[in-house]
Every structure is written in C-alpha cells, then in structure tokens.
Amino acid sequence: MKIKKFKDKSKQKSEDNKGRINIALAGNANIGKSVIFNQLTGLSQTIGNWPGKTVEKMEGYLNFLGYRFNIVDLPGIYSLSTYSLEEIISREYIVSEEVDVIINVIDATNLERNLFFTFQLLELKIPMILAINQMDILRKRNLDLDFKKLEEIFKLPVIPVIAVHGTGVHQLLEEAIELVVYHKPSLHYVQGGKRMHEQLTHCYTKPNQDSKPKNEFQFPDLSSLLSYGKEVETRIKELVKNIDKYSNYFSKFHYPSRFLAIKILENDEELEKLFRINQETIYILELADKYRNELEQLHGEDISTIISSEIYTDIHKIIEQVLIVKSHGELKTNWAEKIDHLTTHSIWGYAILILILIGIYLFTFLIGGFLGGIIEDSFDRLSTSIYNIYPEDNLGVKILWEGAVGGIFGAISGVLVYVIPFFLIIEILQDSGYLPRAAYLMDRFMHSIGVHGKTIIPMILGFGCNVPACTGCRIMETEREKKISIALTSLIPCAAVMTVVLGLVGRYAGVVWVLILFAINFIVIIITGKILNRILPGECTELIMEMHEYRVPNYSVILTQTWVRTKEFIYKAMPIIIISGAFLELLFMFRLLDPVNLLISPITVFWLGLPAVTGIFLIYGILRKELTLVLLALLANSMGTNLSGLLTPFQMIIFSLVTMLYIPCFATIVIIAKETNWKFALKISLLEIGMALLIGGVINWGYIFFTSI
Amino acid sequence: MSENLVQKRKKVTSLITQLIDCPTGEKVKIIRVQAGHHAKRRLANLGIIPGVDIIKKQAAPFRGPVEIIVKGSLLVIGRGLASRIIVMLDNSK
C-alpha cells in the first residue's frame, strides 16, 4: 500500500515539476522556525493534517527568482526517533520524494541541543541548508560564530539568519536553487573566501531551468563527522552490508541504509517493522539485537545513551572550533528572567495563572459577546424588514430565511466571534512562551488525574472556547493522553457556559452558589480523569518538556496564524455547524420538538424538578449553551414576568448545573469526532449526560428530602 | 589508611543523590539514568547522559516537576522521572 503510494507520487513528480522546489523546514521547537516560515510564505499558508494523522501540517508557497517554492513547516522536534507521532511523521516526510531540500533552522544561542537534531538530519542524506537563527541575540552576548569553519565542517551551506528582521531569509532560497538545480552546495567561505551575492548571479540570469531529481546531488562525505566511535561503527558497517544485500527491497522506503542500521541498533519500533514484513530480512534484526547487547555490555550503558553521548561529544568539539568569544561581558538579569521567576513562583505563579484564566475568559467573552450582539441585532433588524415585505406565514421565505440564513448568522454570532479572539489570545500566549510555565506549575496536580502537566495547556484554552481547545489536545504525545485531555477539556466551563451560570445563578442565587457550581464542575473533571485513567489501557507518561525563554510575541506571526486558523475553522467546522444549526432551527420552527418535551419530562420534571418547558431549551442548548438562558429569558418575557418568576433560585442552580455539564456543545462534539472518532465523541457525550443527570438529580432529591424533614 | 578509605567512600556516597533531592542552584554531574528504554532514549537525545553537568534550577511547589539547565537550555522533567536520575554533587565544596 505504502510502496504503491510512493511510486505514484514519483511518476507524477517527473511530469509537472518544472521550476518547482519543495522545501521542508526542520528544527527544534521555539527557535523562530515559524517566523522564517511566515517571512517566506505570508498569507499563502494553510493548515491541514498529515494524511490520516492528527498532527498539523503547515504549508505555504512563494514565487522567487522564477521558481515556485513549496514550503512545509515541520513540527518542532528534537530527534528523529519515535518519541512522538510528530517525529515519525517528520522523518517519513523528509525521505519521501516530495522533499527536494531541507532547511534546518538552528538556534545560535543553543547550538548543542540544536546540532544534535542536525546530526540526525544529516544521516538522511537529503540536500540541506543550515540556517543559524537568532544571530542578533548571540552577538548581543558578545559571542559570534565562525561560518567559514562551520561550512568546512558540514560541507553544506551555513547561513546566518535574523528571522525577526528578515535578514538572510531569502538567501536560503538562493542556496536552495544552488543545491536543487545546480546540484552543488555553494560553499563560498571555503572556496572564494568572501560570501557575496554575486556568486549566485546565475540564479538570477538563468531562471526556470528544469529542476532535476535531487539524487543527482552528491551529498558530501561526512563519514568522519558522523562517526560514533570504533565499536559502534564496525557494527553499523556490518548491518549496512546486510541491509544492502536487500537494497531492492529497502530502496522503496527511501531511508539510507546507514540510517536504518543505526535505528534498528537503537531498537526503533517503527523501522523494525520494515524488516519484519519481509521474511528474508528478519535475521538482520536478530543481528542488531546481538550487536546491541554486545555494545551495552562493553559500555555498561543503554545503546541510545552510547550513541547520543558520541554525538554530543562531536558537537562539543565543533562548538569549541566555531564559537568566537569576544569578551566576557557581565550577564545582567533581563526582563525575561524576571518574568520567568515570577510566573514559576510557588505563590505568584499560581496567582498569575488564575489571572490569565480570568483574562482569557474576559477577552473572548467581551469581544465575542460584543461582536455577536452586533451581528444578532442586524439579523433581527433584517428579519423585521423581510417580514415587512413577505407575510410571516409564507413558509418558503421562513424556511429559507430562518433556516438557512439564520443558521449562518447563528454560527457566526454564536461560535465564530468567540473563536477569533480566542485564537488571537492563544497565539499570544503560545508565542510569548507562557504556556509551558503553566504546565510546569500544574504537572503534579494533573498526574493525579492521569495525565501530565501539558494537558493544562488545552484546558486553559478551554475557558475561552472548548472547540479550538479540543484541537489543541494534539500537543499530547500519546493517543491515550490525547483522549483523556480531550475529555477533560470538553468539561471546562467555556465563555458561553459562564454566561448562563452568571446570568441565572449569579444574579438570582448569589455568588456563593456560582463558586459551588464551579467546585462541582472541577470535581467532575477530576472524577472523569480518574475514571478514564483507570479504563484506558496504558500508563501516564512523565513530563519532559523544554521551557524556552520569554520573548516579545512577533505580531506578524500572531496575526497570520490567527488568520490562517480562522480560515481553517471556517472551511472545516463552520459548514457542519451551520447545517446542523439550520436543521435544529427547522425542527424548532415546526414545533417538532414539542413532543420531546413530553418524552423527556420524566427526567426534567420528576428527576430534576424543573418545569417541562426547560427540556426543549436544554436540547437547544446542545447547539449553543448560552441559548438555554436566552430562551428562558424570551419565555419569561412572553409570559410578562422575569426569570425569577419562571424558576425558583434552586431550580436555577439545577438548571445551570445541568447546562454546565450535560454535553459538549455541538461544535465541540464535531471537533472531538474529527480529532479522535465518532465513537469516542459519542462516549464522552453519553458520559457527560449521565454525570449531569446523576448530580442534578441527587442534589434535587437531596434538597427535597432535607426540606421535608 | 583503610579507615581513611572508608571515610572517603562514605563521603562520596553521601554526595550521590537523586535529582529531586539535590539542592537547587547547584551544578551536579549525572551518574546514572534508571528510566525505561523509551524515556531513556528521549532523555539521552536531550543531552541527559551520564557524565554531563547539569544545574537544578528549581522544583515546582507541592512536590512538582524539576526544572534543570542542561546544555544551555531549560528542561522540565516530571518528578517520577527526576527521581530516577542519579547525580553527584560537586565535592570540591
């Protein structure tokens, strides 16, 4: 299956590939890779999913010097092993025929960690450009790098970049043309001495030359650089020899045999599969097992430790050669460190976390509510003028207007206006570097409900809107943690739920009850976490996370990202929300749901002690939770009373509690189904309905019981 | 002489501790990582390898995770995992 797919692609490629260069941006997380991507592709960016996977694929393109550059921004990773789905996807993509050249973005201020990944990329033997970013920050620290030396070592172009200023960014593309079209790395420092643009003038004068398959590019011989010590190397060579015997078979997978050898030596589950499918190659795995045992005996260490420490030793030597220390300036504590100290403080840290939660809520709620109000008003005004023209009993007009147009308006005013400010604020939080701090503070607590600290990130986002927050659960490393995170996130009271709780309970029953309701909500979250932790197979993994320094968010990245994400949301989620909204609207219009009131009255009236009419409001609330309150208010209005005439304070508490918990809103269910599957979305919905009814009923009957004695 | 040796060994063993127990702000050397295969590979890739010097920056309150500086970058490691990283304190002090 897989093999066939590769073949088809390569055939297609040779036909329509004139002047097209495909670039993969690879590097660690949080090193300005997205800034470079943004500089290059701007608004042409799209977010999709990797085929069949829930990892985001960021793509964009630009035309430059007569070529079309398709750029894929790979997820920020630290290694090409199998720690996360992102790592597996990245390496599969890089070796696929789709990539012509890799731009490896490297953080100049953290060379050791970043070069480790570079070493792994080099093993894939794909034309590569090293882009050393954040040179400005390095130079501020009175340090510099010897680029001539770097190119001598790597035998590949090494370009200094200051992404935030755009310095060196387009030079990366010129180098890409050099590698892909002219099949040679232009090592100006090594050959000509001076790095100048004029050496690349042929890029300008001969555009649109047919780009040729990258295999004509002679990848430089780096065997002395990529050497893991004599003991390891002899065994790798032996494995390579055996793998090459089946080169016909392995060439389909595009991995260099040396890479395969290293990985099976490291016990890489994914690549071992390739050896297992073919009966004849299984013996190579046995050989690798034998070698691994020998090496581990010899060194007294795990194989991954042996190889990693060899690489880090090499890197250390390289850094000693290329790092230029100008003078030892005194290191001042800068603002970033002060904020770091404050936000991870054992008291202030939590206070700031709570403030940020309130901030997210206020921000999405105020902006969303304001915009939503304007849109609803204009819809109402349009409705009046429509019904002035057409009689109100004209069914065709009514269906078209309230069903179709109303569905679109409803989706915009009820969902989209909350989603946009929300995207904006998460991008700011993400880009500034706050979110890992929250994960750090909450790790201990999150462990008690079966996940590690990172889950707090989508949960924080859930306070604004559950819909994109559930998408945010993609950051979790394992499927199990993703599922638990999604379930917990869907239980976070979002801005809409907050409206209902404050509008009913806060107004008529007092703030204390609001706090009690929240406490109940969080207890439910904890219980859900504990239950899922028990029933889902597997174990909670430990947190291993990099915490990068705080930085001033890059506004252009934030705005582009917000725009691109909104666009994706409009294309992918809005149609479903609009159609289902219109459908419910129609059911409502023809009073088809009225019998439902009767049907569920045993639950609403008997079990929960609510008026029968609330049944339909609760059903309507699945679409948009704040509708439960809006409809209640409308009903009260039509009866010439206010909310307190309709429900007793106690009923309000029950009603709000049920609204809070009973089901994720429809848009959230859709997203959960997309991120996992419909079965899981259904299970979560049923679980939440069950819990809401259980708790609501118990409180109601407890109240009846205690007041009767 | 032999007493001296015993004392010396005692001194050394008292310098060896789990990462969660060592004082914050001090430079320590990693001696052993006793994690499972997966976690070990991940930690090794991030530079947490025997023989490497790290600084424990701080530990989160309520027995939370540990923040360390390794190879110039900040890493947060869950407490369970941090207890399986054995380090040696700098004995020059």
Q: How many residues does chain B have?
A: 93
User: Closest Cα of chain B to A296: distance in Å?
Assistant: 13
Query: Looking at beta carbons, which residues of chain A come within 8 Å of B50?
Result: 301, 305, 309
Q: Is pLDDT larger for residue A481 or for residue A412?
A: A481
List alpha helices for B1-93, DSSP H. Answer: 2-15, 37-45, 79-82
Question: Which of the four pLDDT bands, split at 50, 70 and 90, describes residue B91?
Answer: low
Query: Which residues of B fall below an 8 Å CB-CB distance to A?
Result: 33, 37-47, 49-52, 58, 60-65, 67, 71-81
B79 vs A443: CB contact, 8 Å cut-off? yes
Tens digit of each residue's pLDDT (9 = 90 or more) over A371-390: 888 888 888 888 888 888 87
Per-residue pLDDT, A460: 85
Q: Is the pLDDT of residue A204 over 90?
A: no
Closest-CA residue in chain A for B32? Answer: A301
Query: Looking at beta carbons, which residues of chain A come within 8 Å of B67?
Result: 344, 440, 547
Helices (H) and strands (E) in chain A, counts: 37, 10
A304 vs B45: CB contact, 8 Å cut-off? yes
Closest-CA residue in chain B for A116? Answer: B45
Give the residue carrying structure tokens 């650089």. Answer: A225
Closest-CA residue in chain B for A110? Answer: B72
In angstroms, the CA A414 to CA A376 distance is: 9
Q: Is pLDDT larger for residue A190 or for residue A623?
A: A623
Q: Which of B31, B41, B86 to mutate to test the interface with A (most CBs of A within 10 A)?
A: B41
ipTM value for the complex = 0.86
A543 vs B77: CB contact, 8 Å cut-off? yes
Question: Which of the four pLDDT bands, split at 50, 70 and 90, describes residue A211?
Answer: very low
Per-residue pLDDT, A557: 86
A309 vs B44: CB contact, 8 Å cut-off? yes
Query: Residue A78: which of B46, B51, B67 has the nearest Cβ?
Result: B46
Question: Which of the four pLDDT bands, split at 50, 70 and 90, describes residue A195?
Answer: very low
Q: Which of B45, B46, B66 to mutate to test the interface with A (most CBs of A within 10 A)?
A: B45
pTM: 0.82
Q: Which of A78, A443, A454 to mutate to test the interface with B (most CBs of B within 10 A)?
A: A443
Burial A339-370 (b: 16+ CB within 10 A, else e): bbeebbeeeebbebbeebbeebbebbbebbbe
Query: Residue A444: which of B47, B74, B79 has the nearest Cβ?
Result: B79
Cα angle for residues A86, A90, A94 (degrees, 5° grid): 175
In angstroms, the CA A359 to CA A355 distance is: 6
* pLDDT over 70 percentage in chain A: 90
Query: Residue B72: which of A110, A436, A443 has the nearest Cβ?
Result: A110
A548 vs B74: CB contact, 8 Å cut-off? yes
CA distances A640 to A30, A652, A655, Å, are: 58, 19, 21
- Kindly state the DSSP code that residue A404 receives in the 8-state scheme: I
What region, left, alpha or beta, does residue A208 occupy, with left being phi > 0 and alpha being psi -120 to 50 degrees?
left
Per-residue pLDDT, A91: 92
A305 vs B60: CB contact, 8 Å cut-off? no
**Mean pLDDT across chain A:** 83
Query: Looking at beta carbons, which residues of chain A come within 8 Å of B74?
Result: 546-549
Tens digit of each residue's pLDDT (9 = 90 or more) over A137-175: 888 888 899 998 998 899 889 999 999 888 889 889 988
Query: Residue B45: which of A81, A267, A453 has the nearest Cβ?
Result: A81
Tens digit of each residue's pLDDT (9 = 90 or more) over A516-552: 999 999 999 999 999 888 888 887 788 888 888 888 8
Sheet containing strand A67-73, edge to edge, reads A46-49, A56-64, A67-73, A20-27, A101-107, A128-133, A158-160
A546 vs B50: CB contact, 8 Å cut-off? no
- Residues A486-507 have a mean pLDDT of 86
Q: Is A266 helix (H, G, I), strand (E, B) or coil?
A: coil
Query: For residues A340, A341, A345 and A349, what is the CA-based torsion angle, rounded to 10 degrees?
Result: -30
CB A436 within 8 A of CB A546: yes
Question: Which of the four pLDDT bands, split at 50, 70 and 90, describes residue B11?
Answer: low
Q: Two tokens at A128?
A: 């590569």
Closest-CA residue in chain A for B80? Answer: A542
Question: Which of the four pLDDT bands, split at 50, 70 and 90, describes residue A54?
Answer: low
CB A668 within 8 A of CB A490: yes
Query: Residue B65: which of A116, A453, A541 has the nearest Cβ?
Result: A453
Partnered with residue A69 across adjacent β-strands are A21, A62
Per-residue pLDDT, A98: 87
Give the residue carrying structure tokens 């409001």. Answer: A617
CB B57 within 8 A of CB B69: yes
User: Closest Cα of chain B to A16: distance in Å?
Assistant: 39
B76 vs A436: CB contact, 8 Å cut-off? yes
- Kindly state the DSSP code that residue A52 receives in the 8-state scheme: T
Tens digit of each residue's pLDDT (9 = 90 or more) over A288-314: 999 999 999 998 888 999 999 999 999
User: Closest Cα of chain A to B16: distance in Å?
Assistant: 19
Query: Which residues of A fall below an 8 Å CB-CB distance to B?
Result: 78-79, 81, 83, 109-113, 116, 266-267, 301-302, 304-305, 307-309, 312, 344, 346, 349, 436, 439-441, 443-445, 447, 452-453, 541-549
Partnered with residue A88 across adjacent β-strands are none
Q: Is pLDDT larger for residue A114 or for residue A460?
A: A114
Q: Is the pLDDT of residue A10 over 60?
A: no
Taking the CB of residue A144, how many other CB atoms lie within 10 A of it?
Answer: 16
| A353 Cβ contact partners less than 8 Å away, ≥ 6 residues apart | A343, A438, A441, A442
CB A447 within 8 A of CB A440: no
Question: Which of the four pLDDT bands, split at 50, 70 and 90, describes residue A209?
Answer: very low
Query: Residue B74: which of A78, A302, A547 has the nearest Cβ?
Result: A547
CB A305 within 8 A of CB B50: yes
Query: Residue B81: which of A81, A441, A544 has the nearest Cβ?
Result: A544
Query: Residue B41: which of A112, A304, A547 has the nearest Cβ?
Result: A304
Closest-CA residue in chain B for A108? Answer: B72
User: Closest Cα of chain A to B1: distance in Å?
Assistant: 31
A109 vs B45: CB contact, 8 Å cut-off? no
Q: Is pLDDT larger for residue A564 or for residue A211?
A: A564
Closest-CA residue in chain A for B52? Answer: A309
Give the residue carrying structure tokens 């220390």. Answer: A325
Tens digit of each residue's pLDDT (9 = 90 or more) over A581-615: 677 677 777 777 678 778 888 888 888 888 888 88
Query: Looking at beta carbons, which residues of chain B come within 8 Å of A309?
Result: 44, 49-52
In angstroms, the CA A681 to CA A164 distance is: 41
CB A43 within 8 A of CB A138: no
Q: Is the pLDDT of residue B74 over 70?
A: yes
Query: Looking at beta carbons, which residues of chain B come within 8 Å of A267?
Result: 37
Q: How far apart are the first and last CA of chain B?
A: 23
A81 vs B41: CB contact, 8 Å cut-off? yes
Q: Two tokens at A2?
A: 């897989």
